[in-house]
Amino acid sequence: MGENNLMEENTSKDMILCENLVKIYKTKDIEVVALQGLDLTVEKGELMAIIGNSGSGKSTLLNMLGGLDHPSAGKLLVDGIDLLKLSDSQLVKYKRETVGFVWQNNARNLVPYLTALENVELPMLITNRANKRERALDILEMVGLSSRKNNKLSQLSGGEQQRIAISIAIANNPKMLLADEPTGAVDTKTSNMILDIFGELNRNLGITVVIVTHDRQLSKKVDRVVAIRDGRTSSEILRRKSYLEEIQEIGAEARPEESHVELAVLDRAGRLQIPKEYLQALGLTGKDKIHVMMEDDKVVLVNPEKEAINS
């Protein structure tokens, strides 16, 4: 792949394609498997979240999508770009033009001695983009901070700093925005405001947004949530109706839990991760065998010990 054709047009509908993704961290005395054959597809223009507990592999995946880490094995394409085949200079170009990153820790996003406006202009200076000031002012207007453009970070609240961080991430008009626990350090009201901004950027700019979090309640704000457990995709929470349809039916009384459905995910080898609470209810915690059978059009899982007692 030549240096100049790295960003060839991707005619596929997929922004992200992960197949059998494996990541193994090795030290002198220990080997840790962070991803164990993860499969994931994200379409262009999606607003979605990846959830999982600490150690599930979600942050490892995010770092790989951002070009900050490399898989040990598998396939990883972003906007048609094979991240496993990039040279160092191509990887720099990818991180500048294809992906924007929002960290939970604002210190990784912002320069404290610059004003809000200067912070947003900074990534455009690196890429020598024209009309930097005009573009920065437009972005600050998008996130509702045009009146704070001349304030330095010490004069901004945590929520305002996070909105500046989002502004920096989209300054060079990336195709994909990655956010690592973007609401982890703010209160509920500010969290909802930040998530609404992601939604507006997704709808108005068409940018693909991937949010990594441990908060399952985020499903109310996005169209799809992918749950990762033990380094594999375990389930997906899908919105039953589009966000627009829900807005149109705003007068109807509908409980939030009815707007989404959770589906378990079969990987390419036919493996299925069963939620831990289901296994506990069946008394299967710590056991390695389960009776799987067909009943009409259903697949039924049974604890073989209880089945023997009842027979």
pLDDT tens sequence across 151-199: 998 899 888 999 999 999 999 999 999 999 888 777 888 888 889 999 9
The pLDDT of residue 220 is: 76
The sign of the dihedral angle between the CA atoms of 175, 180, 185, 188 is positive
Quick check: 103 and 165 in contact, CB under 8 A? Answer: yes
* For residues 207-234, average pLDDT: 84
pTM of the entire predicted model: 0.79
pLDDT band at 108 (very low <50, low <70, confident <90, very high): confident
**Among candidates 254, 98, 259, which has minimal Cα distance to 178?**
98
* For residues 190-217, average pLDDT: 89
Give 59's strand partners. none
Which ranges constitute the DSSP H helices of 68-226? 88-97, 116-126, 132-142, 158-169, 188-205
Q: Which CATH number fits domain 3-98+174-272: 3.40.50.300, 3.40.50.11540, 2.60.40.10, 1.20.1070.10?
A: 3.40.50.300
Read off the pLDDT of residues 245-264 as tens digits, 9 standing for 90 and up: 554 554 544 444 455 666 66
* Vertex 36 angle, CA 34 and 42, to 5°: 95
The pLDDT of residue 235 is: 73
Quick check: 238 and 265 in contact, CB under 8 A? Answer: no
The pLDDT of residue 265 is: 63
Helix (H, G, I), strand (E, B) or coil at 61: helix
Tell me the domain boundaries of the chain. Answer: 3-98+174-272, 274-311
112, 172, 69, 183 alpha-carbon torsion, rounded to 10°: 60
Q: What is the chain's percent helix, strand, coil content, to nearest 5?
A: 35, 30, 35
Read off the pLDDT of residues 28-57 as tens digits, 9 standing for 90 and up: 778 888 888 889 999 999 999 998 888 888
Distances (CA, A) of 158 to 122, 155, 203, 227: 20, 10, 25, 28
